[in-house]
Structure 1
């Protein structure tokens, strides 16, 4: 019987790459996101390419009611979830603290923190009766260091780090693994979203670097889920070779 993975933010970036990686390894896949057309296209391509079952769910993680309704009404055959990839998140803006947009702050808190927690709690409740499961939380190197103009984004990723550690403790009696994955510079839609479609500014983030790509992170996540039952990677920071942390780069 195929295992099942539940992936948030599956319409692009790390989420889409994870959907492809897990489907290629015979997982049935629940893919979620806000962009219905993209989800349906991805679902069709995964099912065709890998002969697995794919369930697309269109909802916004920021909406507690949508999260609860979408997960509580899963068909019984889909409720045995082996892996959650809690990926939906974003950066919005990069400004000094006193000049930052409060709308951007709300978007990041509602998505990166509240939405992240809503999904993790709902899926953990499905895992608990089975006394097994693996929750992968997507953080960032910004969960480990605070950088100039990163203010609220760094704060939300620090919260992801803290909640991951809290979940590891609270879910320990239920034999549920929790792994926090913290990527560095990765060439996805991240910077385009952060800079609101400004391609010139977004591309400068990766000047002189060979950055991570989404598939690199998906490979790492998949590796973490393939370890023996008695092994859990709690916390993992991944960066390109030219990046040591948030501040030190070897740009060519």
Structure 2
């Protein structure tokens, strides 16, 4: 039996309370945002460590970082998510058993943040490595000449100076992270895409719900762009553009 055409524009289905699905969509959107923020933050930490490891680490560390970034960027993200989500959680439990502890039930939120973070970390490593190499060598040499420790050189000179070069790439990675959360629907995590599919499948109003999900993703992107521009303007204060 064909679906009622009027159901395509039945806005009452987006009501926040049942039988509307608006509340469920917003909860799924909040879950997606949590995973994106957590995964992006973890990826940024991994990226900072990976970039400095590639640039200033020993031969073994550089080779390990090279393997990490090459493998993660070569394998499709969906395959990585399935591998890390299932095999990664199983490996953690097996390790806990070996050291005498019992297994633990890893929540979907934690697993999702870990998966997105590992993927983001590989790309962040290359973005930050390029940004660090763009910092004029004279600035770092001057800091060392003043007797600054390597930690102070990193926190007071290298990281602030590389921000104008890194922000465009990092902002793109943030937007990618918000979209990558949709891939977690394949492992059954209740984020926006999975909730949208459930709502559309139950009500048969596919156009309405997928347009609503698209509008939420678009709103997140527009708001993110505003903050990204603010951060970029602030990071470039006193920055002299090369002609």
Q: Which has the higher helix share?
A: 2
Report which structure shows greater RCO (CA 8 Å, sep ≥6): 2
TM-score by length of 2: 0.28
Q: Which has the higher strand share?
A: 1
Look at both structures and tell me which one has the larger radius of gyration over its CA atoms.
Answer: 2
